[in-house]
Structure 1
Amino acid sequence: MIKSTFGMAALVLACAGAMTVLPAGNAHAADASVKCDMVYNLSGWSLLYKHAEGTGSITCDNGQHANVKIAVVGGGLTAGKYRINGGKGEISNVHGIADVFGDYAQAGAEAGVVKSSQAQVLTKGTVSLALAGTGEGVNLGVSVGKFTISRP
């Protein structure tokens, strides 16, 4: 029950954040037909302030590939420590791998004891990043912040 409640909250917050914070450009998005997949490992902690770091690999359907560094910072009503191994992400509405780098708006809800889970939809303009992953840890709360993908 808690997981489904927080999962719904994450989706609502992510969508609301995307609609109110970041404008969409329909003409630009229609031209962006490349899809990229990301595999990542992430670990972090939160106590009102949220911080996590990790690494990953991105492969696009146009043949482009890059190793990446991930950083998550933010704040909210959160507490816990967690680790995600082998998480998966899908990045859409890009022209190429250069479009995946940068800061994504993040709003989410987390819930977990021993087995931790993460599912979020993040945005950077017209670019969307859907994340899913499971791992270990204890975390509970609602947070808003920034998810950054950069070169190592």
Structure 2
Amino acid sequence: MSKHTLALTAALLLGTGVLTALPIAPAHAAKADVKCHLDFTLSGWSIIYKHAEGSGTVRCGNGQEAAVKISVIGGGLTAGKYRIDHGTGDITHVRGIDDVFGDYAQAGAEAGVVKSGTAQVLTKGTTSLALAGHGEGINLGVSIGKFTISRR
């Protein structure tokens, strides 16, 4: 073997040895075990078509936080005007705050005069959003739609 071939072979073996000596960590997807909390206000109306807008703050157990905009659109046999103050939501099955944003499927029955309340569980894939709140207004009906959370 020539000196050049011997040096090249030694370098390849040494390089291979160094690479195989490094620990190899298996790739893991982040677990969806972060919990987030939503505080919000929302006001809207419905006459067959349902529309509401609001704002709030999302805070996650991993320290992430964001100001958010909320919109609700849908339709059904509904009529009314309402406002929810001091609404809350618990968001589960997320890896981080980015999983919170998007459209959640919504279906519900509303009934309230003067003092209104709401409690709903919405889903977006495997992510769940449990809403609760109280406020004022008149609303009556059954509707389906989407509840959207986006960055403000």
With normalisation by structure 2, the TM-score equals 0.80
Between the aligned partners of 1:42 and 1:80, the Cα distance in structure 2 is 14
Partner AA of 1:38 in structure 2 = L
Q: What is the aligned partner in structure 2 of residue 83 from structure 1?
A: 83
Q: Secondary structure at the match of 1:98?
A: helix
Which position in structure 1 is the counterpart of 2:134? 134
Q: How far is 1:109 from its partner?
A: 1.0
Percent sequence identity is 73
User: How far is 1:108 from its partner?
Assistant: 0.8
Name the counterpart of 2:92. Answer: 92
More helix by share: 1
Whole-Å Cα distance in 1 between the matches of residues 95 and 115 of structure 2? 36
Unmatched tracts of structure 1, length 5 or more: 1-27
Deviates more, 1:30-39 or 1:81-90: 30-39
CA distance in 1, matches of 2:146, 2:76: 12
Corresponding residue number in structure 1 for 2:36? 36
What is the CA distance between 1:73 and its match in structure 2?
0.1
Structure 1 residue identity aligned to 2:141: G
Per the TM alignment, residue 134 of structure 1 is displaced from its structure 2 partner at its CA by: 0.3
- Once residues 47 and 55 of structure 2 are traced to their aligned partners in structure 1, the CA distance between those partners, rounded to angstroms, is 22
Cα distance, 1:49 vs. partner? Answer: 0.3
TM-aligned CA deviation for residue 31 of structure 1:
2.5
Structure 2 distance, partners of 1:110, 1:119, is 10
- Structure 1 counterpart of 2:93, one-letter code: N
Q: How many residues align?
A: 124
d(CA) in 1 for partners of 2:54 and 2:97? 19
Work out the CA distance in 2 between the residues paired with 1:110 and 1:63: 34
Query: Quick one: which amino acid aligns to residue 38 of structure 2?
Result: M
Higher RCO, Cα 8 Å, sep 6+:
1
3-state SS, counterpart of residue 31 of structure 1: coil
Q: Which runs of 5+ in 2 are unaligned?
A: 1-28
Partner deviation per Cα, 1:45-67 (whole Å, 9 max, x = no partner): 00000000000000000000000
Distance in 1 between the 2:131 and 2:96 partners?
Answer: 19
Larger-gyration structure (1/2)? 2
1:150 matched residue in structure 2? 150
Q: TM-score, normalised by structure 1?
A: 0.80
Secondary structure in structure 1 of the residue aligned to 2:63: coil
Cα displacement (A) at 1:32: 0.5
Q: What secondary structure is seen at the aligned counterpart in 2 of 1:63? A: coil
Specify the alignment match of 2:11 in structure 1: none
RMSD: 1.2
1:108 and 2:108 are equivalent in the alignment: yes
Whether 2:39 is the aligned partner of 1:55: answer no
| 4+ long deviations beyond 3 Å | none
